[in-house]
Structure 1
Amino acid sequence: MVAMAQTPPSAERLRAIDGFLAESWADQARHDDRLRDLAVEVRFDRGVAHLSGEVAEQAELRLVRDRVGRLAGVLGVWGRVRVGGRDPVVVDLGCGATKQWPGNLGLDIFPAPGVDAVADLSGSLPLADDSVDVFFAVHILEHLIDFLSLVDECHRVLRPGGVLHVMSPWWRHVNAVADPTHVRLLDVQTVKGICLQRPPGTPRWYPLHVGCDGASIFADLTPLPPGADGPNPSHLARFFD
């Protein structure tokens, strides 16, 4: 199926959407007994929900992000939440001088003020198995000829319940081709391929949320352990053809 062109929302409309989402979430949190007493703050920025605060266990964080992600208009659910009194280990891939949050570990192939460790992201990450809670791959996959090796490394390094956040230019938008260092074009269906269409024996992902605003694609993915059930058709139908 050919993707139809979209026009990204104006800045004014994005502010209005964020206001609508904030009101919708506040109303949901007031009326859902499971959410009312959780110490999680949800802030919306251009359709992306940013979670902060603290929960007692991973299941509570999964509940919050699932309920936030069901709001129409949410493009991604990015989190930095303490679980059981422990700060999450958050890694920015290809961060350059700017991290998504201060205190994140920054990895990049070039030294810069925000880079904590120099690493070739097309190779092995200098991180131990099951050692990271959150990866940010913001405007990085489109720069890699083979980004699947990086995705596989993220799967290896993420703890159970961890999340890989992806943001990349949408292939139909001029931003995807205007930068001559971009070597890959991505679509929401690319994320479907990552999660569902890879050979047996390769790392498997569960798509928590996938969206497109007409300029960028967003994906929140969590690793599936060997033998685990994948997403059901009704969940996939929210994101993919």
Structure 2
Amino acid sequence: MTWIGAAAPYGQRRLAGLDRHLTEAAGDLFAHDDRLRGIAVDVRFDGGVAHLTGDVSDNKDLLLVRRLIGRLDGVLAVWSRVRVGGRDPVVLDIGCGGVKQYPGNVGVDLLPASGVDVLADLAYGLPFADRSVDVIFAVHVLEHLIDFLALIDECHRVLRPDGVLHVLSPWWRHVNAVADPTHVRLLDLQTIKGICRRPGSPLRWYPLHAGCDGASVFADLTPLGEHDHGPDDAHLARFFD
């Protein structure tokens, strides 16, 4: 699997079948939806996670692809390394250790390892300028931090307005959540909802996608500006109870 450490409860045969189904459904979208004609984005599925690559001229095209792919039944998350306007995205992989989600990501971790490019203690912030990053992967990170909201706020600070934070953490009811003694927090989809509608915080998030496969919680979040409209109840109902 591309994502590390999320042992889904489904068998490999079922996951492979799901990925084949999603590949066919995405192919139908690109073949028959006129809105997608001429958009040079490729989609690959791995365990229900959509991986987007390619080139688009405008971020609106990428957002359209993300939105339509995310509507397919069975998609857990939509991850992207798409070039926009001829520019490669700046992608951080925080807490990556020796394994990055994509080889070209900038690995950030406390201790040196083969995948780490920048040494930093995530509990004390991210050593990057405001609005300088396109994508952040936080894969099996939040559950290790007592106060992960401070890190979430740092992600909000360094992401560009159209940037995306990808979260992947063990679901609180699965054994993976409690089997690792270094896990100090438990997460659910409702945790993601709480992050998006955090009382008293000026830093808000819009959920592009969220899902749970019975073992892990997935979320794709984009930062909202001070005057941006937040998600309405109908949008939140897609992902949260």
Q: What is the distance in 1 between the residues matched to 2:94 and 2:10?
A: 27
Asked if the contact 2:189–2:210 (Cα under 8 Å) also holds between the matched residues in 1, the reply is: yes
Which residue of 2 is the match for residue 45 of structure 1?
A: 46
Which residue of 2 is the match for residue 211 of structure 1?
A: 211
Post-superposition, which runs of at least 4 consecutive aligned residues in structure 1 deviate over 3 A?
A: none
SS where residue 122 of structure 1 aligns? helix
TM-score normalized by structure 2? 0.95
Percent same amino acid at aligned positions?
Answer: 67
Which residue of 2 is the match for residue 138 of structure 1?
A: 139
Which residue of 1 is the match for residue 4 of structure 2?
A: none
How many residues align? The count is 234
| Gap regions ≥5 residues in structure 2 | 1-7
Which residue of 1 is the match for residue 175 of structure 2?
A: 174
Q: How does 1:39-118 map to 2 (within 5 A)?
A: 39-118=40-119
Which residue of 1 is the match for residue 189 of structure 2?
A: 188
Q: What is the distance in 1 between the residues matched to 2:124 and 2:110?
A: 11
Q: Give 1:198 deviation, angstroms.
A: 2.7
Which residue of 2 is the match for residue 227 of structure 1?
A: 227
Q: Give 1:199 deviation, angstroms.
A: 1.1
CA distance 1:238–1:99, shift in 2 (3 Å): same
Q: Give 1:33 deviation, angstroms.
A: 1.1
Q: What is the distance in 2 between the residues matched to 1:133 and 1:194?
A: 20
Which residue of 1 is the match for residue 37 of structure 2?
A: 36
The AA in structure 2 aligned to 1:227 is: H
Q: What is the distance in 2 between the residues matched to 1:101 and 1:18?
A: 19
Deviations along 1:148-170, one digit per CA (max 9) or x if unpaired, are: 00000000000010000000000
| Gap regions ≥5 residues in structure 1 | 1-6
Q: What is the distance in 1 between the residues matched to 2:26 and 2:19?
A: 10
Q: What is the distance in 1 between the residues matched to 2:150 and 2:76?
A: 25
Q: Give 1:113 deviation, angstroms.
A: 1.1
Deviations along 1:169-196, one digit per CA (max 9) or x if unpaired, are: 0000000000000000000000000001
Which residue of 2 is the match for residue 3 of structure 1?
A: none
Q: Give 1:36 deviation, angstroms.
A: 2.3
Q: Give 1:200 deviation, angstroms.
A: 4.0
The AA in structure 1 aligned to 2:62 is: L
Root-mean-square deviation (Å):
0.9
Which residue of 2 is the match for residue 16 of structure 1?
A: 17
Deviations along 1:58-83, one digit per CA (max 9) or x if unpaired, are: 10000000000000100000000000
Q: Please tell me whether residue 164 in structure 1 is matched to residue 136 in structure 2.
A: no
SS where residue 41 of structure 2 aligns? strand
Deviations along 1:179-220, one digit per CA (max 9) or x if unpaired, are: 00000000000000000133143x100000000000000000
TM-score normalized by structure 1? 0.95
Q: Give 1:23 deviation, angstroms.
A: 0.3
Asked if the contact 2:198–2:204 (Cα under 8 Å) also holds between the matched residues in 1, the reply is: no
Q: What is the distance in 2 between the residues matched to 1:148 and 1:223?
A: 14
Q: Give 1:57 deviation, angstroms.
A: 0.4
Which residue of 1 is the match for residue 149 of structure 2?
A: 148
